Structure 1
Amino acid sequence: MFESTSLIVYTLFCIVASVCFVSRTIEFVANGLTVENLLRTVIIKEYDNFVLHHIQRTSFSIIVYSSLPLVYLLGTLFVNNSEKSFVYVYFDVLCLLFLVPIGISVSVVYNWKSNDWANHPLRIVLNHYDPADWTIPAHNITTEFRSIEKLTLTCGTLKKTVVTQNWIISIDQFNVSVAKKSESLFTVYSSDIFDNVPDGTPGAVQFINIEVTALRSRIKPFSVRIRSEDFQTLEEHIGHPIQISDNVKLQRSRTERFLEVFREQVSQNPVYRGYTAAELEDNTCAGCLVNIPNVKLTKCCDDDPVNEMLPCSSCQCRPMWCVDCMAKWYESRQPQNDTTIWLSSKCTCPLCRQVFCILDVCPLENFDFRNTV
């Protein structure tokens, strides 16, 4: 039925491009191929007016996405060179058919926009928080969004969670849900584990889904999706504990798993005894300023200083670090895209920059931190 090779190629290209555009792939987002960027002269900036920005963004997104079939059809006028092709024969019928979703989306947006966006889902929610003037909570959200103290967590390119001083906001392509933190209940109800994620994060990654239930009536519950390693940070910004369902088990973060392995290895290294109790008296770890220093960098490995490009050497600093802070420093200096070489890699002392490996991190005498958390 299709006699034009160029039309077939064009059709395949449009399908792939439309899928990438709608699903907001990393490549399209990085190159600015999003609704809000293409219509940046029409859509107000998020920083200037957070609520109005997302009202406009969701409205234009519906119209733009519903127009993609018509854009494809109009493009066939330039690539079609066969009058017998299906698209050419039924062009008028297809044009009317593809105008239907545009008409529906325009009517939906027009209904939303009437009476100062009175029927938009986001304004309806804000009306529940201030029936007299919805712009008051909208202004409060914008003001808090501008604060550097807000927390922003992304889940791919489709979902984003923003936590401000008083609000939690879930953002996706067509919907924006908001609720006051102090008037909501939070429950982790499910999780998913992926071996590979599009952003290239090494190792298995767990995503958790949290239901936000507003205590006010007529505000629908919504969910936020975050990485499990961000759970503690989110809980701190919310200000009260998040309930976890019995069927959900949170995966420990990569740092927590590495800390356990690091402690176990250090506990097997030779004990350092060349210090006095007076050196540690009234001292705290230079990293966390909480724990007492309990490790010392002393060369214990068997590397060859002649053949090694970066041979290990004894650190001349007095004991100043706890094992957890030393582990975090060690982790931060390793290649983040390959965790398999971390234990065999090297690092430098935070102060004197002497090179050491994990075998050179020696526990101080009378300290046992194998079971510390």
Structure 2
Amino acid sequence: MNERTEHAMNSIPEGGRQEIYDAVVIGGGAAGLSGALTLGRARRSVLVVDAGHPRNAPADGVHAYLGREGTPPGELLAAGRAEVRGYGGEFITAAATGAERDGGVFRVFLSDGSDLRARRLLVTTGVVDELPDVPGLADLWGSDVLHCPYCHGWEVRDRAIGILGTGPLAVHQALLWRQWSADVTLFVHTMDEPDEDQYEELAARGVSVVIGEVASLETRDGRLLGVRLASGTLIRRHVLAVATKMTAGAELLASLGLEPTDLEMAGAVIGSRIAADPTGATDVPGVWVAGNVTSPTDQVVAAAAAGVRAGAAINADLIAEETRRAVAERRAPFSAHLEREVCEVVLGDRRHGL
């Protein structure tokens, strides 16, 4: 058992799991932990189910996160887990394989064969990055093969950067990365060749264009050496920027009737997402989403903020439910609440033996 699993399991109280949690959070990244922290501070019982495969694990650090700039992803998550535990949050290392509504609560089924019950669900299962099929590319993902200039641009500034053209957004991508380096080359690869206006824009910004399909990436000592074309030509590059297809990790949600929708940018489908309102509420009452599963292009800080919003919305929804029940109990004839009030009025201090 590794340290992560040990800590996760140790956060379950000795008496075992609760029968019903106020909320179960599925996914222990920035969005899930922020939601759990918000709910814990609201005095809610929370359990986080985390399979332990964060999207940004290969990255050297989290960037553009005020106060946390450059923090290694694992360190940020460890700090977040400790904070959630400080407010009574619990953890279990497992994958959630499905969920269903069971009366007024949800049952969540886990990969170890067990299940959990919760009044509300917050799903923060992120996305899966589907990489272009180029030999050698996957081995360098997160180090010399990158996708987001706002996440990694500063760290590779002024280096020789290549752009792998796989769709209509490649020209935009090349012009964007040009902000961080004067040495940018667009490899047309499988995209349509740029039109005259695009060629002019690229030329004006000093971006080189290479026609021909990329056959593989060449490495030396584990680092990118260059891009090998199908013609055999090797063009040296330090970094290759790619566009991944970002597929929502929504298998669990399908069991609740929630299916992902296409995510488009400039008319091109770049991935999928689970639709939700600004608080993260989905079309299924009681189910919220936050982070990349609903907003795949968000950076870590935005995912964390979305988790806070969803956590607050879930707490407000629980309060509304509890208030409705309290009013119904108060209005019900011969209710326990009414009986207590009558006793107080009729018996007064005598009820307490005074």
Place the TM-score, normalised by the shorter chain, in its bin.
Answer: under 0.3
Q: TM-score, normalised by structure 1?
A: 0.21
Q: Which has the higher strand share?
A: 2
Structure 1 or 2, whichever has the larger Rg, is: 1
Report 1 or 2 for greater relative contact order, CA contacts < 8 Å, sequence distance ≥ 6. Answer: 2
Q: Which has the higher helix share?
A: 1
